[in-house]
Amino acid sequence: MAAKKMNLEENFQRMDEIISRLSDEKLSLEESFKLYKAGMNLVKASKDSIDKVEQQVRLINDETNTDEA
């Protein structure tokens, strides 16, 4: 089954959880790496999501500026 795609807020919440877990000195190096990798995947997904919204805002602004001309 495919994993549910998380929204930006859920990504940030999960990143906070990962950061907290990475602060645990008892965490093994292997588990730390897994969490780091998961965190970096969330960072990429969040960046992609923000970029998509930014592109939509630019498109709306361009359309609005064109309509006013």
For residue 26, what is the DSSP state?
T
The pLDDT value given to residue 12 = 96
Question: pLDDT-based confidence at 3, cuts 50/70/90?
Answer: low
Which is it for the CA torsion 4, 9, 15, 19, positive or negative? negative
pTM (2 d.p.): 0.77
6 has pLDDT over 90 = no
Q: For the segment 42-59, what is each residue's pLDDT rounded down to a tens digit?
A: 999 999 999 999 999 999
16-41 confidence digits (pLDDT tens):
999 999 999 899 999 999 999 999 99
Q: What is the pLDDT of residue 66?
A: 78
